Structure formats: structure tokens, C-alpha cells
Amino acid sequence: MSKVGFIGLGIMGTPMAAHLQAAGHQLFVNTIGPVPEVLSAGGAQVCASGKDVAQNADVIVVMVPDTPDVEKVLFSPAGVAAGLSGGKLVIDMSSISPIETKEFAKRIEALGCDYLDAPVSGGEVGAKAASLTIMVGGKESAFERARPLFELMGKNITLVGGNGDGQTCKVANQIIVALTIEAVGEALLLAAKAGADPAKVRQALMGGFAASRILEVHGERMVKRNFDPGFRIELHQKDLNLALSTARKIGLSLPNTATCQELFNSCAANGGKAWDHSGMVRALENLANFEIGQKV
């Protein structure tokens, strides 16, 4: 058993922390709002600040929404850095800026501690099933130290490279996801407007080269009109903003990523920032003045 700190107990963080607790690790937790009953009932010790978490734990996991949130958790006056002592390990599992991540890592390492960026993919379903994909940046020695914890939360666990490379991998993942959602949306919209049954078109495509997890899961959402969030549009907007801002800094054009961001922006402008990201299809439907499932 080890002493693990966990900061950020949202829809992803709570089940991730619960897996660590179920494996016998002592948890020291801090979050906005009340600590979920599943953790407090299991013996998690509630801490008043990130500093308190860091003073009690040997490994500190951070799982919060965005770059400014991570910076605040780590470096505010009562933040994690204020409670660290040499030899501890900080793991940021949020999805944030690769460039800022490198600076955060330098500041933590200057305190005699190790730092890993380890963003995840798989959403709430993957967090609950402990089947997340975990993309890690940092030193190999720190990665090996963290691996037993990662294996309690995920299945596909890869040390991508140095600090920041895990976040870069996550940004790349989100580009692929967004563009594939857009492609599935266009395909099913074309099929429906042409008079074909979009549910049967999706079923047929699942057996061919166009098959994908997104066609399977999000294609079904589009057909069944189920846009309750598994992963909210506003969070995917944040991730694509990271992709586009990073691309600008390194002199790279990402034209189709920019298009997908504009489609998400259209959804948000129409009250859809909390829709599941498969709801991007609604922006395409607005452009077509036609909805998947509508009779021709």
C-alpha cells in the first residue's frame, strides 16, 4: 500500500481514485465541493488544500479541467508545490497545454521531485471500467514507479517521451476524434438525405474499412438522437484550442481541425456546449436544414 494524493474528483477523477482505493492505497484527497461518498466511506482522508495533500502523500495525482486549473493546483500559495519534499512524484492526468506542461515539470523537478504528464482517453466509461488509454511524458524511472498505479486505471499505457509529449499525444488523439466525428456525421447525414436508412447504413459500414469506435458509439448516438454527455463539447473545444494554439506557436496549419472547432462553436452558440461531442452533427444538420432520421 502507498500513500496517494488525488486532486480533482469529477466524473473522471472519482472512479479513477476509487480504483486506487479499492486496490488498497491510502488516499488523501482534495476537490471542489464535497468528496464523493464512495471515497469518503472507503477511508479517503480529506485535505484542506493541495499543500496538505502533498505533505501527506508520496505520489500526487492531479485531474482537473484545464491549464490554468493545473497551475493553480500546483503553484498557488497553498498548492501542491508548497507541500512537496524531495523524492515525491507528481502526476498530472489532466488534458492541458504541452508547452505549459514542460514549464510545470521544470518547476516541480527543481524541488527535487519527479513529474509525469499522463493525460487519458476513454471518457467516463473508460474511467469506470479502468480501461483508459494513458499517454505519458516524463523520465522512464518515474514512469516505472507510476506504472502500478496506471495499471489500476487503464489498459493501454504508453511512455511517449519526455515531459510534454504525453500532452502532445492527447492533443493528437483529440484531433483524430473530432475529425472522425465530423466524417461520421457527414456520411450519415448524406445517407439520410439521400433516402437511405441511416441506422442500416451505419450497420453495413461497421463491417467494412470505415469501421471505427466512433462510428460504432457516436454513430449510434447520432441515429438515436442521444446527446447526453459522455464527453462534453465544451471540453473538446478546449482540447482543439490547445491543438490550434500549439500549431500556431510551431508554425503549423491544421485546417480541418479548425473546421471542427468552428462546428463545435456553432453547437455551443446554439446552447449545446454541454452536449456530448457527437452532437457536432447538429451543426452539420443546421447547414443542411435536414436532420438524420427525418423523412425525405
Distance CA 16, CA 23 (A): 11
* Residue-by-residue DSSP string for 33-51: SPPPHHHHTTTPEE-SSHH
Nearest CA to 293 among 207, 195, 175, 227?
195
CA-CA-CA-CA torsion sign (85, 135, 160, 251): negative
For residue 184, report the phi and psi dihedrals to the nearest 5 degrees. Answer: -65, -40
> Would you name the residues annotated as active-site residues?
170
101 phi-psi bin (left φ>0, alpha ψ -120 to 50, beta other): alpha
Residues in the chain: 296
Distance CA 2, CA 266 (A): 46
User: What's the gap between Cα 232 and its chain centre?
Assistant: 10
Task: Return the amino acid letter for 218.
Answer: H
- Looking at residue 72, the DSSP 8-state letter turns out to be H
Distance CA 68, CA 36 (A): 24
> CB atoms < 10 A from the CB of 152, how many?
18
For residue 267, report the phi and psi dihedrals to the nearest 5 degrees. Answer: -60, -45
* Residue-by-residue DSSP string for 205-245: HTTSTT--HHHHHHHHHHHHT----SSBHHHHHHHHHHHHH
